[in-house]
Amino acid sequence: MTNDPATNPTLNKFAERLDDPAAEAEKVIKLIDWVSRSCIGARQNDNVLQKYRTERLTSLKPNEREEAEFKAQRVFFELDYVDVAELCAGIDYLFGTKGALLPNGVTRGTGEMDLAPFLQANPGHLLPNPLAK
């Protein structure tokens, strides 16, 4: 797992922009929430995130916001623990000082995944048995 989008396909998947700017903003906000909770030592930058949220979403009507949330949610339907681990490894690419999605949105941490938040959010998800042949 790397911080290079050429070798980390999950980074390309999440760095790809959505057609709707409001949906893209919702995707970025949700992704920041995921990585800041799931990656060891990663912290969201509240000031940067609040400014981004204000610039992108405050002018939306409630029904426009709901539609944007729905469109953004579709990106996360097939998110699994491997994707989250790859996002943790590539957190600098997405949210570092020259981040592809939101520069300085999240501090890197260790680049490793903490499985506990993922398993709490997905209680029916079974991890592969490392002892299985």
- Nearest alpha carbon to residue 79 among 107, 121, 36, 130: 121
Say if CB 121 and CB 33 are below 8 A apart.
Answer: no
Domain assignment of residue 59, yes or no: yes
The H helix count followed by the E strand count for the chain is: 7, 2
Domain assignment of residue 45, yes or no: yes
Q: Identify the domain containing residue 87 by its residue range.
A: 9-121
Domain assignment of residue 106, yes or no: yes
- Token pair in block for residue 127: 């991890």
pLDDT for 77 equals: 82
- CA dihedral (125, 88, 43, 66) positive or negative: negative
pLDDT for 79 equals: 80
Per the structure, how many domains does the chain have?
1
pLDDT tens across 59-89, in order? 999 999 999 999 999 888 878 778 888 999 9
pLDDT tens across 11-66, in order? 988 999 999 999 999 999 999 998 898 899 999 999 999 999 999 999 999 999 99
Helix (H) or strand (E) holding 106: strand 106-107
Domain assignment of residue 46, yes or no: yes
pTM: 0.82
